Homo-oligomer: A and B are copies of this chain.
Amino acid sequence: MKKIKSVPLSIPADTANGTYEVPAAGPVTAIDRWLAARVIDVLGRPPITFVLWNGEELAGAGSPPVAYLRICDRKAFYKLLANPELQFGDLYSAGRIEIEGDLVRFLESAYAAMTHLSHVGRLKKPVSLLLNRPRTNTLAGSRSNIHHHYDISNDFYALWLDDEMQYTCAYFPAPDMTLEAAQIAKMDHVCRKLQLKPGDRVVEAGCGWGGLARHMARHYGARVQAYNISHQQIIYARERARREGLADRVEYIEDDYRNISGSYDVFVSVGMLEHVGCENYVELGKVIDRSLTRDGRGLIHSIGRNMRGRLNPWIEKRIFPGAYPPSLRQMLEIFEPCDFSVLDIENLRLHYAKTIEHWLARYEKHFERVSKKFDPSFARAWRLYLAGSIAAFTSSSLQLFQVTFTRAHNNDIPWNRMHLYRES
Q: How far is the CA of A416 from the CA of B177 in the complex (A)?
A: 14
- A319-337: which residues lie under 8 A (CB-CB) from chain B? 327-329, 332-333, 335-337
Q: Is A56 an interface residue (CB 8 A)?
A: no
Q: Mark A333-350, 1 if CB is under 8 A from B, else 0.
A: 101110111111111011
Q: Which 3 A-B pairs have the closest CB atoms?
A: A345-B345, A329-B332, A396-B408
Q: Indicate if the CB atoms of B307 and A396 lie closer than 8 Å.
A: no
Q: Is A395 an interface residue (CB 8 A)?
A: yes
Kindly list chain B residues whose C-beta atoms are within 8 Å of the C-beta of A340. Answer: 306
Q: Indicate if the CB atoms of B341 and A347 lie closer than 8 Å.
A: yes
Q: Indicate if the CB atoms of A341 and B306 lie closer than 8 Å.
A: yes
Nearest CB of chain B from residue A47's CB, rounded to whole Å: 16
Q: How far is the CA of A409 from the CA of B395 in the complex (A)?
A: 6
- A237-282: which residues lie under 8 A (CB-CB) from chain B? none
Kindly list chain B residues whose C-beta atoms are within 8 Å of the C-beta of A394. Answer: 411
Kindly list chain B residues whose C-beta atoms are within 8 Å of the C-beta of A337. Answer: 307
Q: Is A131 an interface residue (CB 8 A)?
A: no
Q: Indicate if the CB atoms of B350 and A411 lie closer than 8 Å.
A: yes
Q: Mark A170-206, 1 if CB is under 8 A from B, else 0.
A: 0111010000000000000000000000000000000
Q: Indicate if the CB atoms of A417 and B421 lie closer than 8 Å.
A: yes
Nearest CB of chain B from residue A122's CB, rounded to whole Å: 13
- Give 21 A-B contacts (CB < 8 Å), ordered by A residue: A172-B415, A172-B416, A175-B415, A306-B340, A306-B408, A307-B336, A307-B337, A307-B339, A328-B336, A328-B342, A341-B349, A341-B396, A342-B345, A342-B347, A342-B399, A344-B345, A344-B347, A396-B408, A396-B409, A417-B417, A417-B420
- A368-409: which residues lie under 8 A (CB-CB) from chain B? 394-396, 399, 408-409
Residues in chain A within 8 A of chain B (CB atoms) = 115, 171-173, 175, 306-308, 327-329, 332-333, 335-337, 339-347, 349-351, 394-396, 399, 408-411, 413, 415-418, 420-421
Q: Indicate if the CB atoms of B306 and A335 lie closer than 8 Å.
A: yes
Residue of B nearest to A337 (CB): B307
Residue of B nearest to A396 (CB): B408
Q: How far is the CA of A335 from the CA of B304 in the complex (A)?
A: 14
State which of B171, B336, B345, B421 has its C-beta within 8 Å of the C-beta of A306: B336
Q: How far is the CA of A343 from the CA of B343 in the complex (A)?
A: 14
Q: Indicate if the CB atoms of B346 and A417 lie closer than 8 Å.
A: yes
Kindly list chain B residues whose C-beta atoms are within 8 Å of the C-beta of A335. Answer: 306
Q: How far is the CA of A346 from the CA of B340 in the complex (A)?
A: 15
State which of B345, B350, B399, B416 has its C-beta within 8 Å of the C-beta of A415: B350
Q: How far is the CA of A336 from the CA of B172 in the complex (A)?
A: 27
Q: How far is the CA of A410 from the CA of B421 in the complex (A)?
A: 24
Nearest CB of chain B from residue A288's CB, rounded to whole Å: 14
Nearest CB of chain B from residue A318's CB, rounded to whole Å: 26
Nearest CB of chain B from residue A205's CB, rounded to whole Å: 21
Nearest CB of chain B from residue A224's CB, rounded to whole Å: 26
State which of B173, B328, B333, B336 has its C-beta within 8 Å of the C-beta of A416: B173
Q: How far is the CA of A335 from the CA of B307 in the complex (A)?
A: 9
Kindly list chain B residues whose C-beta atoms are within 8 Å of the C-beta of A336. Answer: 306-308, 327-329
Q: Indicate if the CB atoms of A173 and B418 lie closer than 8 Å.
A: yes
Nearest CB of chain B from residue A183's CB, rounded to whole Å: 15
Nearest CB of chain B from residue A267's CB, rounded to whole Å: 16
Q: Indicate if the CB atoms of B333 and A343 lie closer than 8 Å.
A: no
Q: How far is the CA of A343 from the CA of B349 in the complex (A)?
A: 9
Extra contacts, 11 of them, besides A115-B409, A396-B409, A418-B421 (Cβ < 8 A), are A171-B416, A172-B415, A173-B418, A175-B415, A328-B342, A329-B329, A332-B332, A341-B399, A344-B345, A417-B420, A421-B421
Q: How far is the CA of A415 from the CA of B352 in the complex (A)?
A: 12
Q: Indicate if the CB atoms of A350 and B413 lie closer than 8 Å.
A: yes
Kindly list chain B residues whose C-beta atoms are within 8 Å of the C-beta of A408. Answer: 306, 396
